[in-house]
Amino acid sequence: MTPGRRLSATVNGENLSLAGTDPSTNALDWLRAQGLTGAKEGCAEGECGACAVMLARADTGSGTEWTALNACLLPAAALDGQEVVTAEGLGAPGRLHPVQRELAVRGGSQCGYCTPGFVCSMAAEYYRGDRSATRDDTAADAAHPRRHECGPNGFELDALSGNLCRCTGYRPIRDAAFALGEPADHDPIARRRAGPPPAAAATWLEGPTGTYARPADLGEALDLLAAHPGAVLVAGSTDWGVDVNLRGSRAPFVIGIDRLPELRHLAVGDDVVEIGAALSLTEVERGLAGRVPLLDQLVPQFASRLIRNGATIGGNLGTASPIGDLLPALLALEAAVVLVGAGGEREVALADYFTGYRRTLRCADEMVRAVRIPVPLSGTTAFHKVAKRRFDDISSVAVAFALDVAGGVVRRARIGLGGVAATPIRAYTTEAALEGQPWTAETAHAAADVLHGEGTPLDDHRASADYRRAVLGTALLRLHAESTAGPVVEAPTGRGVGA
């Protein structure tokens, strides 16, 4: 990493300088300062998608895929050496891109504020290389659980889950998405997919509010962390970006670790699944391909596709939020955290990792390198999330189950809880109440009474403590009903259903 190197990004095919940009500036504000004002700030926290742009990222092979991201959260400095396409780069009046044309002719835009963000998210899905395979899979299976969310052209509506529109209505937007054909052979954005992705540039940007540094490798990152023990580690920036935008947070030193190769691996072995800390949740989902069913159930409920394209497991562990969706599931999976620092690596059981509200065992000179999930996995798993919205919302309560049931008896039980204590927690008492018992409605009711009392839930703007306990009290009944395909039996006592 060489301080003073000219920093730049390729935007819509043009190389633009990042010189003079303050490290706290986000990509959206930088792009708008270049005159690219299609992308807008709607919420400044990644909920509305009005700021969406496309970035060239590595695909699962050696090529490139176009990934939609929230520009309002991403540091502008993270664009150094990268390739960006905005709505302006897709088309213009008189030469509309197919996505723009379909949205126009099908009435998919009214006030137009959100439209450029929809265009970029829709275009990223339009250019998804395996879209035809999605079409073929769902068309062949009428019982496919997400068939209604996938068009005859293979377009997955989940790609638009992070984009909100307040005036148009979603039917014409969906119609536009489902009307898209395949990219033309001469489409330069489609042809770009065959080439390698942009290399991760080693970046050093200083400004009035501090310094942003993106090291070339893990060793350099650890050296920087040792020299700046109070530095903020940033990967997807889906949490730090909100603090910068809404709370005015600034850090004297920020280390970008999103492109470190040592943090971007996924390995499935006979004894363990290891997931690199800097892989996005979208990359984790695709890489695992359903091999960890509990995570497969969780991921579609985690924020939105735009957020999952940036958010990482390492970021969730670093934030250590008690209401993060991912952490209860990892607790139920008995995951371990691999920490690395100047003194080497150490492995910590996730159940021992949290020491208090947003506090962990991670030392100031350490970072999360990976998460390890032991295998074989439990056969009965479920993730229950209760929030005010079905998708793209923060949990009021999250419950993750991983049970081994053999011969009708619960041989092993692991339960992770979020939103009911100052940290994500294991429901140890309930686990003990289940193990060794027959997996019957009676056992579920008895254990539900125990689960009802786990944690120390509080009243806040998302839910009351009583409501949270009610959710816990019914979670096991729901799990039993789902796993046995039987009806939910009325509990013998009020507390059994969390009343």
Q: What predicted TM-score, i.e. pTM, was given to this entire model?
A: 0.93
Exposure b/e, 241-268, CB count within 10 A at least 16 = b: bbebbeeeeebebbbbbbbbebbbeeee
Domain 8-194 sits in CATH 3.40.50.970: no
Which 8-state DSSP code applies to residue 230? T
How far apart are the two ends of the chain, measured CA to CA in Å? Answer: 59
> Residue 316 corresponds to which amino acid?
N
Return per-residue pLDDT of the chain as tens, 499 residues: 556 578 999 999 999 999 999 999 999 999 999 999 999 999 999 999 999 999 999 998 889 999 999 999 999 999 999 999 999 999 999 999 999 999 999 999 999 999 999 999 999 999 999 887 776 665 545 444 455 689 999 999 999 999 999 899 999 999 999 999 999 999 999 999 999 999 999 999 999 999 999 999 999 999 999 999 889 999 999 999 999 999 999 999 999 999 999 999 999 999 999 999 999 999 999 999 999 999 999 999 999 999 999 999 999 999 999 999 999 999 999 999 999 999 999 999 999 999 999 999 999 999 999 999 999 999 999 999 999 887 788 899 999 999 999 999 999 999 999 999 999 999 999 999 999 999 999 999 999 999 999 999 999 989 999 999 999 999 999 999 999 985 444 444 333 333 2
CATH H-level superfamily of 381-499: CO dehydrogenase flavoprotein, C-terminal domain (3.30.390.50)
What does the pLDDT read at residue 378?
97
The closest alpha carbon to 389, from 448, 314, 303, 284, belongs to 303
Break the chain into its structural domains and give their ranges: 8-194, 203-260, 261-377, 381-499
CA dihedral sign of residues 156, 158, 160, 165:
positive
Tell me if 173 sits within 8 A of 217, measured CB to CB: no
Phi, psi of 440 (to 5 degrees): -125, 170
Tokens of 40: 């807008």
Q: Which architecture does CATH list for 261-377?
A: 2-Layer Sandwich (3.30)
Fold for the domain defined by 203-260: 3.30.43
